[in-house]
Chains A and B, each alone.
Chain A
Amino acid sequence: MSAVPRTSPAPTGRSSRTGTTGAVLHATRAELSKILTLPGVWIVTGIILALDVLVMSASAGLYAEAVANITPDGIIEIFIGEPQAATVAVLDMLVASSLQIGVFLPIPAAVIAGQEFRSHQLGLSVLAVPRRGRLLAAKVLATTAYLLVVAVLIAGISTAFTYAAVRDWNPGLLLTGDAFLGQGRFVVFAVLFSLTGFAITVIARSTLIGIAVTVVLLALTMMRSPARTGPGLDAFLPAGAGRNLLLDAGANHLSAGPVHGLLVLVGWALATTLIAGITLGRRDAR
Chain B
Amino acid sequence: MIEVVRLSKRYGDKVAVDDVGFTARPGRVTGFLGPNGAGKSSTLRILLGLDAATSGTASINGKRYRDLDRPLRTVGALLDGAGPVPERRAVDHLAWVARSNGIPPRRVGEVLDVVGLADVARQRVRKYSLGMGQRLGIAVALLGDPEILVLDEPANGLDPEGIRWIRTLLRDHAASGRTVLLSSHLMAEMAGTADDVVVIDHGRVVAQGPVAEVTAGHPSLEAAFFALTGDRPGPGR
Which residues of A are interface residues toward B (Cβ below 8 A)?
A: 1-8, 11, 14-18, 22-23, 26-27, 29-31, 33-34, 37-40, 115, 118-131, 284-286
Contact = CB atoms under 8 A, between A and B. Distances in A.
Interface of B: 45, 48-52, 65-66, 68-73, 77, 79, 81-89, 92-93, 95-97, 99-104, 107, 110-111, 113-116, 135, 140, 142, 144-145, 161-162, 165, 169, 172-173
Contact of A37 (B50, B65, B89, B169): B89
B26 to A, nearest CB: 16
A98 B69 CA distance: 43
Nearest to A115: B85
10 contacts: A4-B169, A7-B107, A23-B70, A26-B99, A26-B102, A27-B100, A39-B87, A40-B87, A118-B86, A130-B49
Contacts of A286: 50-51, 81
Contact of A38 (B50, B81, B88, B107): B88
Given A37-B96, A39-B88, A130-B71, 16 more contacts: A1-B135, A4-B111, A4-B145, A15-B103, A30-B99, A30-B100, A33-B92, A33-B95, A37-B92, A119-B85, A120-B82, A127-B48, A127-B77, A127-B79, A285-B50, A286-B50
A171 to B, nearest CB: 44
A122 B79 CA distance: 12
A121 B50 CA distance: 12
A27 B70 CA distance: 10
B81 A18 contact: no
B66 A284 contact: no
Given A7-B103, A284-B51, A285-B51, A120 B81 contact: yes
A14 B90 CA distance: 24
What are the 5 closest A-B residue pairs judged by CB atoms, nearest first? Answer: A123-B82, A30-B100, A15-B102, A37-B92, A130-B66
Contacts of A3: 114, 169, 172
Nearest to B115: A1
A192 B79 CA distance: 36
Contacts of A122: 82
Contacts of B68: 130
A11 B102 contact: yes
B96 A33 contact: yes
